[in-house]
Structure 1
Amino acid sequence: MVEGGGSKADETEFTECWKTTWRTPYLVKLALSAGIGGLLFGYDTGNHCDYSCGGCYIWSWIWRVDKWQMIILRRIFVGLGIGMASMTVPLYISEASPARIRGGLVSTNGLLITAGQFLGYVVNLAFTRTTGTWLWMLGVAGLPALVQFMLMLTLPEPPRWLYRQNKVEEAKAILKKIYSADEVNEEINTSRISVETEKADEQEIGDSMMPKLKGAFGNVVVRRGLYAGVTVHVAQQFLGINTVMYYSPMTVQFAGFASNKTAMTLSLVTSGLNAPGSVVSMFFVDRAGRRKMMLISMVGIIVCLVGLSAVFWQASLHAPKINPSESTKFVANATCPSYTSAANPASWNCMSCLKAECGFCADKANQHSPGACLAATTELKDACRAGNRTWFETFLTLTKAIGSAGTFLLFAGFCVTGFICIYAFVPETKGLPFEEVEKVLETGYRPKTLRRKSRGSPTSA
């Protein structure tokens, strides 16, 4: 049974990435030029808007939003850009990186994503009270996108891809810029064996799409790799980070910081902590290993999500009450219809109002005092804010069904499931070339606690 990892990985120190890149600045150019896509992807997340990396984003930035049809078209272009960047950027960096520092270099993409998120919040805060706010917010993304577009024109294809296209000399020229002279021939030989094996498999399977798909799923290496990859990505998407990032200002406001500017400023803490976390990952991912880092981070996320759930549960119990007379300060029939028809309106508070899909207008003097539960209309929202009051509304459909506390507890449940699946199906790959990773998958992986005691026990496919 293969546990994953090996002597080469065990000897790798956390400073190896920095030493190697210092000696090989060409690697830095490759990683950062491609990684700008991560920066702009993160900016799109932190900005809550529709612009990010590459040519698709530049094109969408040029367009003006005059009609809803244009907004939909721009979302299509941005979606294409995000999809291509999310897949190609880490793939490009990994294929162009030496195995011993691949984790650290690929982590630069994650670092730039978190840096982009922080930049998005900073830009939002800077242009909060500026004329044409959203145009400035979106326009800023066009500059680094243009820089990346120009840099990508100068970058080569990955050596592995060049070798597969029979461009051996071009592949050697790139490898000489990445590896030492005595390592180039070894890398070329490794690529030759790998590509020959791939081509042999393709000849056996055929050229049409359906036989290729059938053959791929019939391949134990591909199947196990798919299990591991899907497990990690599903766990990442369901752990709740997108909810925290997209709705951070609203979450801060629910915690008692009413001012939009204050909420945006405090949200910088959330996005700002992402970047140092990525730096920690870059230092240790090639020393401690990918698997261990994922499991440790999942435990931390679970603890934090349970903590958030407890905080929101307490917030729902101590939320400001509803003062019926407060709604009379606005237009006629402003009170939330569900509140007026409720069997026991005296028991309602801010959270009850939001679950009824209405808006809560906080008291002007003290936002913790009873406020008004109003119909969720644009006119009443504007009237509430015009009186220097804070307007709250339900920011997720899920929170209506199970509440904010239940939402974060659900995310914690997903994380527990993700932890179990990562522990069971994802092997360690630190310091291993792609060919060695294939051997790990071919042999099969089971953690020690799940291995059968009987000798020669079969592994699952």
Structure 2
Amino acid sequence: MTTESGAGGSGVGANGRKITYFSNSFVLALALVAGFGGLLFGYDTGVISGALLYIRDDFPAVNQSSFLQETIVSMALVGAIIGAAVGGWINDAYGRKRATLIADVVFILGSFGMAAAPDPYVLIFGRFLVGLGVGTASVTAPMYIAEASPSEIRGGLVSTNVLMITGGQFLSYLVNLAFTKVRGTWRWMLGVAAVPAVIQFVLMLFLPESPRWLYIKKDKSEAIVVLSKIYDPFRLEEEIGYLDSALEEEELLRKNAVSYWDVFRIKEVRLAFLAGAGLQAFQQFIGINTVMYYSPTIVQMAGFSSNRLALLLSLIVALMNAIGTVLGIYLIDNYGRRKLALSSLSGVIVSLILLSVAFIMQSPNGDYGWVAVFGLALYIAFFAPGMGPVPWTVNTEIYSQSYRGICGGMSATVNWISNLIVAQSFLSTADAVGTGPTFLILAGIAVVAFVFVMVYVPETKGLSFEEVENIWKERARSSGSSKEPLLTPSPL
């Protein structure tokens, strides 16, 4: 092994040289190009929050209906749920590269459809197509990066995809501000989304397929050529040994075709999936996309009525999100996934309580408006380095090769379903019980998430895929009984 066993990977290669995020330009370039999938994800998340302000002005029916506003926002999530579910299968059957190219094409079509929409219903269909592309990309990008990354820096490289998500959100707010005075404001905002998809499609044509997928599914020699660009000769031999073991397992499983039911039937796979899917669900239920989809609306609720000012304040929130993710890239491989998530959740709980108090105490003259804006910024400052990248990183690490596509797709689907529930219900819940109590509900969910991570999520920092797989096998054996618990508590 070139790293220490357990959660304390040293980040030092076999030749004694420290492996860092910038050690290998080939791997970094691959991560950045693949991360354009995250950019699509982030841009779409952020741009609709600003575009919605102007869509309401153009379509009176939208302005008069909170449900229609929620549907315009959340229809992309419906598409993403389907895209993520199908994306896992596409990744396993056709590879990470082809899945990325397919996602780009669908996203481009959806962007053009939104820009040309003559009514809210065509706009909603365009949002659905964009969602299909984003959902597929959300499965593919982190998986592709993880499979081409040395274990010592895998967390940071996978978090590059999350940085691209937050960068896309920040870019969307800049675009929103740029087009506030342009005729056809929201059409430009939504249509520009096609640009990063076109760029990724072109660049992706020059990148190789995932070496792990190639080795196990298609061509060993081609896979070794790719691996030789990532690892030194000693480490290359070791990685090929791991892949040979994974190939033997794959060939055994081919005799009994891998199915979605196996995820729940085979105990170690079930344990891994429930931990990964739980992280993805809690990432959404603690309210991140409530903040990102509706931040301009929340700012206006806090007493700032100007569309431009609302967008400017939301831009600051998005910038903090991107900066926090950069910090997460450093911390995730040095501090660890589990500790980072727990620290992040602690701050999220405090900031959501602050937001709740600000809105409960709000007066007609907006005395507590700046407190609400500060609460939004504080929320992002704690969420971005931890609960932003950790769920996506952990979900690329905890599944065996044979189930990585299926489980990754199912877990991403859980994320998008949770995202849809939150996006579709936030405004309605705020109308029913008030904005302050709504944030208090999210704070309660964050407390449950903290307990979940503390009890069920293992540390995967610095471990090889095979070492992580052994964690679940050991848990499955240690908890074996006639009445099997779905999850086994993680040691502190």
- Say whether the fold is shared (TM-score over 0.5): yes
Residue by residue, what CA displacement relative to the aligned partner does 1:345-365 show, whole Å, maximum 9, x if unpaired?
xxxxxxxxxxxxxxxxxxxxx
Match of 2:348 among 285, 293, 301: 301
Alignment pair present for 1:440 and 2:471 = yes
Shift in CA distance, 140/72, structure 1 to aligned 2, threshold 3 Å = closer
Residue by residue, what CA displacement relative to the aligned partner does 1:168-216 show, whole Å, maximum 9, x if unpaired?
111110000111121111101101102212322342xx23x7xx34433
Is residue 250–residue 263 contact of structure 1 (8 Å, CA) maintained in 2?
yes
Is residue 9–residue 100 contact of structure 1 (8 Å, CA) maintained in 2?
no
Residue by residue, what CA displacement relative to the aligned partner does 1:98-128 show, whole Å, maximum 9, x if unpaired?
1111000000011111111111111111111
Equivalents in 1 of 2:186, 2:18: separation in Å? 39
1:217 matched residue in structure 2:
264
Match of 1:125 among 177, 191, 204: 177
Match of 2:339 among 288, 292, 295: 292
Alignment pair present for 1:56 and 2:87 = no
Match of 2:217 among 165, 173, 177: 165
Shift in CA distance, 131/18, structure 1 to aligned 2, threshold 3 Å = farther
Is residue 117–residue 123 contact of structure 2 (8 Å, CA) maintained in 1?
yes
- Give the greater-gyration-radius structure (CA): 1
Query: Which segment drifts farther, 242-251 or 411-420?
Result: 242-251
Equivalents in 1 of 2:122, 2:294: separation in Å? 25
Shift in CA distance, 8/242, structure 1 to aligned 2, threshold 3 Å = closer
- For these two proteins, the number of residue pairs brought into alignment is 367
Is residue 21–residue 27 contact of structure 1 (8 Å, CA) maintained in 2?
no
1:28 matched residue in structure 2:
28
Is residue 249–residue 263 contact of structure 1 (8 Å, CA) maintained in 2?
yes
Alignment pair present for 1:107 and 2:159 = yes
Question: Per the alignment, in what secondary structure is the counterpart of residue 165 of structure 1?
Answer: helix
Query: Can you give the 5+ residue segments of structure 2 that lack an aligned partner in the other structure?
Result: 52-72, 81-102, 367-424, 480-484
Shift in CA distance, 59/440, structure 1 to aligned 2, threshold 3 Å = same
Equivalences for residues 220-369 of structure 1 within 5 A: 220-315=267-362, 318-319=363-364
Is residue 310–residue 405 contact of structure 1 (8 Å, CA) maintained in 2?
yes
Equivalents in 2 of 1:189, 1:79: separation in Å? 39
Match of 1:420 among 451, 459, 467: 451
Is residue 306–residue 408 contact of structure 1 (8 Å, CA) maintained in 2?
yes
Aligned-CA RMSD value = 2.8
Match of 1:137 among 186, 189, 201: 189
Question: Per the alignment, in what secondary structure is the counterpart of residue 396 of structure 1?
Answer: helix
Equivalents in 2 of 1:155, 1:18: separation in Å? 26
Question: Per the alignment, in what secondary structure is the counterpart of residue 22 of structure 1?
Answer: coil
Alignment pair present for 1:73 and 2:120 = no
Equivalents in 1 of 2:229, 2:284: separation in Å? 36
TM-score, normalising length: structure 1: 0.74
Equivalents in 2 of 1:74, 1:143: separation in Å? 16
Is residue 17–residue 105 contact of structure 1 (8 Å, CA) maintained in 2?
no
Equivalents in 2 of 1:8, 1:252: separation in Å? 41
Match of 2:227 among 175, 187, 190: 175
Residue by residue, what CA displacement relative to the aligned partner does 1:303-343 show, whole Å, maximum 9, x if unpaired?
1001100111100xx2359xxxxxxxxxxxxxxxxxxxxxx
Is residue 21–residue 157 contact of structure 2 (8 Å, CA) maintained in 1?
no
| Equivalent AA in structure 2 for residue 62 of structure 1 | F
Equivalents in 2 of 1:184, 1:162: separation in Å? 15
Alignment pair present for 1:83 and 2:135 = yes
